């Protein structure tokens, strides 16, 4: 794996190398189906078949020497390791936590360097204001659509109706009182930039950097140039730092999945399976019914977009943290052809204002809680709840499973019981994977669209670079 690189061309493999692996994988699937559904094959034989199939897939990954392929393989291997050896759950979690910690060390300096160069390096303050307005407008329209889809989906599926009150040993997160409009605005501005960096307050870092960059445009070129040179060097170094940490991504992703499977097992899907299916169906409707048409409307090349977004999407899915995928997403969107100025502004800002997957989930989960508790919520109150969620979801993407905190606070404010939320905790990690992946996908698409909108995207073979 020493020659892994996202840029490395994939080594073409003759069919004779692939065919035996495909046959083994197909046989493993058949044997596991026979073991699980018909009892015709012992569990031991099914387990051996899975390991042999994984060994074959590992061989194909080794031949391809591609980081994204290794990450996808790590998802499968992690699931098998967690299922077979659940007693190692705490150690699997260590791998995941190390990866996320390393990623978080990158975020603040990467945003500071790239955004500073993007704004102060061009001295066009009006274009920054225009880009900010267009970004926020796009964010609010798309997240509103996501909220409505979640609301419609749960009202159609009625997944919470008939759910028995299930005992749960899970501890609910501390109830967070929904922030008011003035509190949200006040929270946007840092009172101490060091504290903002330490707390991972992405939006506060963005605001500080924008103001700092605007201040730089007000001094002479002679005074400004050394700092811009420093910021350019910092950006390039942090992108290299990102590449270095990404070598650890397969271990981090595999550890995250292994921990999830080891803790949950397969029995969690009983009464809550309908909720899980409703969420993923709604997310698919949102992706193919909203994001895809919007991408086509703005003439985003879908194949090229998927090529560059698949890797950060996989990281977000496995780690359940949009922040963990941010550095790679920034790097890849710039490679796709969006200017560094747009990438460094839109992607970090989207972590607070464009949480498509999380907002969809929260509208869906809040009504699920009411359905489980047999409480009727009139359509007018549901609309009020949507408006509340639009405000309270700002700035939660950096924390894994932070949506549960918002859901607990929303349920408390609506007078709903907390036992359905405690039940949701059992499958929340699985739901968090989907909603976080959609958060990242939506932010990457927003970056490409704003780049097109601003005329700062070049989707030919040559990237737009810093322009």
Q: How far, in Å, CA of 209 to CA of 110, rounded?
A: 11
pLDDT score for 281: 94
Residues 264-291 as b/e (b if ≥16 CB within 10 A, e otherwise) read beeeebebbebbbebbbebbeebbeebb
Question: Using alpha carbons only, what angle is made at residue 444 by residues 303 and 116, rounded to the nearest 5 degrees?
Answer: 130
Predicted confidence pLDDT, tens digits, the chain (467 residues): 444 444 444 445 555 666 666 676 677 666 666 665 666 767 777 777 778 888 877 877 777 777 777 877 887 888 888 888 888 888 888 888 888 788 778 878 877 887 787 777 655 667 777 888 888 889 889 988 998 999 899 989 888 777 665 544 445 445 445 555 677 678 778 888 888 888 777 778 878 888 888 888 888 888 888 888 898 888 788 878 877 887 888 888 788 778 877 876 655 445 567 888 999 999 999 999 999 999 999 999 999 999 999 989 988 888 777 878 888 898 899 999 998 888 888 888 887 778 889 889 888 888 888 888 888 878 777 777 777 777 666 555 444 455 666 677 677 767 777 777 766 765 777 788 898 899 999 999 999 999 998 888 888 765 444 44
pLDDT score for 315: 87
Q: How far, in Å, CA of 315 to CA of 253, rounded?
A: 7
Q: Which single residue is written with the structure tokens 């899915």?
A: 317
Q: Are 388 and 410 in contact (CB under 8 A)?
A: yes
pLDDT score for 332: 92
Under DSSP, is residue 189 helix (H, G, I), strand (E, B) or coil? Answer: coil
Phi, psi of 179 (to 5 degrees): -75, 140
CA-wise closest residue to 69 among 59, 82, 79: 59
Phi, psi of 457 (to 5 degrees): -135, 135
Q: How far, in Å, CA of 257 to CA of 213, rounded?
A: 40
The sign of the dihedral angle between the CA atoms of 291, 292, 293, 296 is positive
Under DSSP, is residue 25 helix (H, G, I), strand (E, B) or coil? Answer: helix
pTM here?
0.68
Q: How far, in Å, CA of 388 to CA of 362, rounded?
A: 11
pLDDT score for 189: 86
pLDDT score for 164: 61
Q: How far, in Å, CA of 107 to CA of 111, rounded?
A: 6
pLDDT score for 396: 53
Strand partners, 457: 338
Task: Count Cβ atoms within 10 A of the Cβ of residue 298 and give its class: 0-12 exposed, 13-18 middle, 19 or more buried.
Answer: middle
Q: How far, in Å, CA of 147 to CA of 465, rounded?
A: 35
Q: How far, in Å, CA of 139 to CA of 395, rounded?
A: 13
Q: How far, in Å, CA of 339 to CA of 343, rounded?
A: 6
For the chain, first and last CA: distance in Å?
A: 34
């Amino acid at each position: 794996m020493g020659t892994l690189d996202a840029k490395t061309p994939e080594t073409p493999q003759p069919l004779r190398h692939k065919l035996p692996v495909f046959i083994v994988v197909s046989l493993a699937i058949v044997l596991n189906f026979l073991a699980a559904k018909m009892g015709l094959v012992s569990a031991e034989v099914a387990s051996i078949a899975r390991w042999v199939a994984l060994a074959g897939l590992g061989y194909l990954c080794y031949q391809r020497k591609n980081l994204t392929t290794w990450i996808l393989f790590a998802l499968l291997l992690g699931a098998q390791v967690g299922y077979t050896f659940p007693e190692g759950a705490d150690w699997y979690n260590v791998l995941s936590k190390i990866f996320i910690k390393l990623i978080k060390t990158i975020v603040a300096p990467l945003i500071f360097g790239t955004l500073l160069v993007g704004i102060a390096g061009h001295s066009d303050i009006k274009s920054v204001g225009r880009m900010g307005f267009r970004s926020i407008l796009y964010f609010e329209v798309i997240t509103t659509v996501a909220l409505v889809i979640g609301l419609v989906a749960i009202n159609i599926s009625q997944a919470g109706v008939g759910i028995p009150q299930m005992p749960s040993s899970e501890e609910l997160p501390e109830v967070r009182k929904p922030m008011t409009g003035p509190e949200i605005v006040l929270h946007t501005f840092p009172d101490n930039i060091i504290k903002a960096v330490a707390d991972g307050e992405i939006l506060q870092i963005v605001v500080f950097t924008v103001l700092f960059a605007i201040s730089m445009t007000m001094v002479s070129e002679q005074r400004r140039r050394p700092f811009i040179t420093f910021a350019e060097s910092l950006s390039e170094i942090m992108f290299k730092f990102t590449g270095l940490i990404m070598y650890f991504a397969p271990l981090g992703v595999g550890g995250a999945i292994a921990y999830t499977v080891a803790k949950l097992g397969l029995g969690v899907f009983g009464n809550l399976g309908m909720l899980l299916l409703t969420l993923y169906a709604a997310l698919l409707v949102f992706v193919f019914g909203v994001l895809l048409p919007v991408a086509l409307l703005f003439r985003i090349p879908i194949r090229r977009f998927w090529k560059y977004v698949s890797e950060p999407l996989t990281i977000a899915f496995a780690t359940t943290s949009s922040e963990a995928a941010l550095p790679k997403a920034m790097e890849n969107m710039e490679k796709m052809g969006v200017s560094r100025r747009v990438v460094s502004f839109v992607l970090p800002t989207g972590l607070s204002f464009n949480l498509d997957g999380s907002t969809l989930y929260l509208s869906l989960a809040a009504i699920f809680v009411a359905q489980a508790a047999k409480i009727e919520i009139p359509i007018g109150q549901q609309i009020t709840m949507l408006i509340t969620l639009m405000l309270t979801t700002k700035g939660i993407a950096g924390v894994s499973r932070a949506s549960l905190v918002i859901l607990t606070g929303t349920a408390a404010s609506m007078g709903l019981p907390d036992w359905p939320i405690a039940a949701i905790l059992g499958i929340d990690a699985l739901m968090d994977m989907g909603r976080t992946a959609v958060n990242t996908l939506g932010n990457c698409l927003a970056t490409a669209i704003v780049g097109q909108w601003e005329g700062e995207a070049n989707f030919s073979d040559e990237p737009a670079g810093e322009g």
